[in-house]
Amino acid sequence: MTSKHFIALATIILFCAITVNHMAKSVLEKLFNGKHRQMEFVPIVDALGPESVAFDRLGDGPYTGVSDGRIIKWQENEQRWISFATTSPKREGCEGQHDHRETEQNCGRPLGICFSEATGDLYIADAYMGLLKVGPEGGLATRIATHAQGSPFKFINGLDINQSDGSIYFTDSSSLYQRRNYIPLILTGDKTGRLMKYEQESKQVTILLTNLSFPNGVALGKDGSFLLFAETTNCRIMRYWLTTSKAATLETFAQLPGFPDNIKRSPRGGFWVAMHSRRHMIISWILSYPQVGSALIKLLPIDIMKAYSVWSKCSGTGLAMRLSEDGEILETLEHKSGKTMRSMSEVQEKDGHLWIGSINMPFIGLYRI
Ligand SMILES: *[C@@H]1O[C@H](CO)[C@@H](O)[C@H](O)[C@H]1NC(C)=O
Ligand SMILES: *[C@@H]1O[C@H](CO)[C@@H](O)[C@H](O)[C@H]1NC(C)=O
């Protein structure tokens, strides 16, 4: 074993040890006092990672984007998934069992999805293909934007639609790192993410904010006076005012105990925020010294993403919180027993059910409230 291998191995062991220790301690935390609910699993065959969940204007679905680049639709009466849409015209070698991280650049990786109630079109934030839309019949989606004010997108991630004028608010998580490299994106403290707006009439993209640290999920407030977006690296939700005397200003809406992914409005009020994992002490430490993160990445002779997947197996579970319109915690959801939901990417609430997406699980979680 070379010294580099030894350092890599030692780092992983340290991550695991700290994580286990951290989990034992966190049992004492107040946040755990939510009701214990039984989760069901809706399996997905030959693909992983149902990242975002949406229902069409008839209430059918859910629809979700998965690791092989497809958007699939749940047929409730047949109890199975069918293929609905794709984001890339190249489909050769995309489907089937292999590591989709190696093909997602060509096959597409649909992340945030949202239906327009007026037209029935599905809008898709694809990490590699940009902003797309597809009609109610599905098929190959059309690209509607691939760059903003001359600079190309790198990692399109979350979106929400203003249902009355059709404008779309969406995030580009980084101008340097693609989705496959989201761990270095976090560890280097990258600040090149953007929040943008696409307008239906002009078909133009406007940049609203730059220099963001991994902007991710987006959700408009109920009255449209503000929008929220997750800033993943900083473990927080930001509020960007669209109207009122505070228009065009930014403030911290909520500080979280984990790395937030998508945000969805709840029909019972407030917002569901799904978290990839709890924020561990070691990561907090690395993030307070971004040069350490960069050095670690250069030093490690192994694929940092592979190391992370080993680490995530020994680390905790995904977590979600429902926050009020003022950023207070209303409810906490954490899956602690049985088949583990290792990470959560989205919680979509509909008719007393919580549909739970994840970036790396071969199923959607389903809770009946
Ligand atoms: C964003 O960061 C760049 C580089 O650090 C800096 O030059 C620029 O002024 C920043 N822009 C804003 C709007 O803060
Ligand atoms: C949608 O846009 C309209 C017109 O620009 C605005 O009045 C409304 O507040 C917005 N609604 C939301 C939910 O953003």
Instruction: State the pLDDT confidence band at 337, using cuts at 50, 70 and 90.
Output: low
User: How many angstroms does the Cα of residue 192 sit away from the middle of ligand 1?
Assistant: 9
What's the token pair of residue 188?
């280097």
pTM of the model: 0.87
User: How many angstroms does the Cα of residue 87 sit away from the middle of ligand 2?
Assistant: 28
Closest CA to 347 of 277, 268, 274: 274
Residue whose CA is at the smallest distance from ligand 1 atom 9: 211
165 Cβ below 6 A of ligand 2: yes
Is residue 358's pLDDT more than 50?
Answer: yes
Find out whether 53 and 62 touch, Cβ atoms under 8 Å: yes
Give the position, in ligand 1's atom list, of the atom nearest the Cα of 210: 13
Q: How far apart are CA 241 and CA 223, in angstroms?
A: 11
Q: What CA dihedral angle connects 55, 56, 57 and 60, to 10 degrees?
A: -80
100: Cβ contacts below 8 Å, ≥ 6 apart? 47, 48, 49, 67, 68, 69, 94, 107, 109
Give the position, in ligand 1's atom list, of the atom nearest the Cα of 209: 13
CATH homologous superfamily for 3-368?
TolB, C-terminal domain (2.120.10.30)
Per-residue confidence (pLDDT) for residue 147, from 0 to 100: 96
The per-residue pLDDT for range 179-229, each reduced to its tens digit, is 988 888 888 889 999 999 999 999 999 999 999 999 999 999 999 999 999
User: How many angstroms does the Cα of residue 210 sit away from the middle of ligand 1?
Assistant: 8
Q: How far apart are CA 76 and CA 78, in angstroms?
A: 6
244 Cβ below 6 A of ligand 2: no
Give the position, in ligand 2's atom list, of the atom nearest the Cα of 242: 14
- Say how many residues make up the chain: 369
